[in-house]
Chains A and B, each alone.
Chain A
Amino acid sequence: MIPKYILNENTHEVELVRRADNITLEVDGHLVDARIHWIDRHQCELTVNGVAREVYAAQDDNKLFLHLDGKTFQLDALDEFGEGDEGVAGGGRIKAPMPGVMIESYVKDGDTVSEGDALMLIESMKLQTEIKAPVSGVVVSLGCEAGASFDKGAVLVDIEVPEAEA
């Protein structure tokens, strides 16, 4: 199992190669020499390839939050044993870009839609946005009903692309 992390929408691999006084990691194929000293539960001093940094870290489920070099970074730890996350880009799955409420759905399960068709109207922070079909296909499941609220990342709709076109 190689731990994988998503940072800025890209997946990276971080493997523990060796652990003695120093830790050797392989980050996306590059060997990295690291040393870590925890000051408390959230704060540590991390030395990577000889450069020391003060790092703050916190975790909520598979979401990792880090603060270093004066910036905050958010990463997702990929669960190797879980299902692949195919629908983020391409494919016919639309995830909520922000938390909000479904105002109206223009389609129902089983409907055939063409790329660009308006599927639903959502609202967040008083802004209404129409969600359009990213691909042509058949609506296999709607993530929520009109009036229901959803969190960021919730699946709003799944569109199955017919095999011949896939």
Chain B
Amino acid sequence: MSTDTLFNKVLIANRGEIALRILRCLQQLGIPSVAIYYDSDRNSPVVRQADEAVEIFGDSPSAAHLDIAQIIGICKQLGVDGVHPCYGFLSENAGFARELAANDITFIGPSAEVIELMGDKITSRNFVEKHGFPVPPSVSMDADSDGFIDAVAAMGFPLVVKASAGGGGKGMSIVNSKDELESTLRVAASEAEKYFGDKRVYVERYFENARHIEVQVVGDGTDVVHLGERECSIQRRFQKIIEEAPSPALDAAKRKEVCDAAAGIAKAANYASAGTVEFLYTSSGEFFFLEMNTRIQVEHPVTEMVYSVDLVAEQVKVAAGQPLSIAQESVVMNGHAVECRLCAEDAFNDFMPETGKVLFLKEPTGEGVRFDSSLYQGQAITTAFDPMLAKLIVHAPTRAEAITGCIEKLREMVLLGINTNAEYLIKVLEHAAFKEGDVDTGFVGTYAEDLVKDELSADQQRAVLSAAMLSDRSMKLIMEATPDIYASIGRWSN
């Protein structure tokens, strides 16, 4: 395809692994690139590899990356006519999309209107419901009003009763039957009034053992194509750490149902870019719309690997006004892919963030292996940004092989200078329930007792301590300075 209708120059409004991934795509499409960076990232690969790189300033690195006026100023100065926001920062900021449009610069993402529609939990829920797609059943009204009990009971049990004005788990209770309902509602309303001065309660179906399943869609404003689902139930602190495609929970019929719903929602919104429709998927096979993410997501590589598509290239082409280069009939799912997010954290100690410096890195390689990272030797890892360091994705013919591949590659990868969750990820991947595909969003908590650090064997501990002593710089210096003849005489005296 000719690329002279795409962009003159695209600015990547982000950092880290995703900025580098977008750069690779721009290079493949032959589009000149601009990287922006805060001082602490000046040595990062995207800054060195982009055609142009401009330093941005602000009170903090994040503040600089959120500075719309500064970014647009750079675009105008350098003749940039397209901006890729990646994920995070300004990726779902309708104001940014509008400001760019006002300056004749294309936001590589959906329209500001769609970002706004999907960015609000209530308007998006209402939109989806209006178009006949499933949303989680809920009732929000004054508990004293007529018909409340019937309306609530009609949703089915169990239910969760929440104070409308509440938060943080306060004023929340779970109801398993109609018998409990009346008294629970009374108590909840009174508690709500006591704690929050507002007795309105909000009742929602409560789903135990629910999964987080999301569907990748791409649209060009006319057509929408779905690229199957991703299972993202393995989460800690509401952040995904392992994702895979396809989901082990769906059979072909259910997959079609869920994916058609996602494509239908995107189509109703005249969606034009890559997007993700997230669903809650219950153990009984019901699914409900949670939200739509109007950006490229962290976990997009698993979809790219099983469908052999370049989602970012589709985003860029659609933003430039071209139609999708793929059609629903032409995309085929092939094999299984698993992604692990490598994070700077002490996963065995409540996922506490860790800081350090990249002293040595040996990336995992092999067939079907993708390692998305922008790590570099000497890089300081601070808490200024998200703790995610890199993503390891393994694609294989079967789920079991993809899991085994991930475990192997996590072991093979060497990253020295910072504590990561690699060993924890291996514990999850090796867990019997995970291997069975028996996962839900509570997995990390449910199996906390199994997901603990292995004890070192005495033999292994001696190997570690011997290696420590023999590699310790000060010991090496002493040994090099000590002729063998003396060293072999016997012990050093204290």
Contact = CB atoms under 8 A, between A and B. Distances in A.
B partners with A: yes
Interface string B451-488: 00000100111111111111111110001000010011
Given A5-B465, A57-B471, A72 B492 contact: no
B470 A34 contact: yes
B355 A152 contact: yes
B466 A27 contact: yes
Interface in B75-128: none
A5 B387 contact: no
A2 to B, nearest CB: 7
A27 B415 CA distance: 26
Contact of A98 (B352, B362, B463): B352
A17 to B, nearest CB: 6
Contact of A14 (B360, B383, B469, B479): B469
Given A7-B465, A34-B466, A19 B479 contact: yes
A71 B347 CA distance: 14
Interface stretch (A62-70, A114-122, A137-145, A156-164): A62-70
A107 B357 CA distance: 34
A20 interface: yes
A51 interface: yes
Contacts of B456: 8
A12 interface: yes
A72 B422 CA distance: 9
Contacts of A152: 354-355
Contacts of A34: 466, 470
A104 interface: no
A3 B471 contact: no
A59 B471 contact: yes
7 contacts: A51-B463, A53-B467, A65-B360, A65-B416, A65-B417, A70-B412, A72-B415
Interface of B: 352-357, 359-360, 362, 382-383, 387, 410-412, 414-417, 419-420, 422-423, 426, 456, 459-475, 479, 484, 487-488, 490-492, 494
10 smallest A-B Cβ distances: which pairs?
Answer: A70-B411, A58-B359, A57-B471, A65-B416, A58-B416, A14-B469, A19-B487, A58-B360, A48-B463, A67-B414
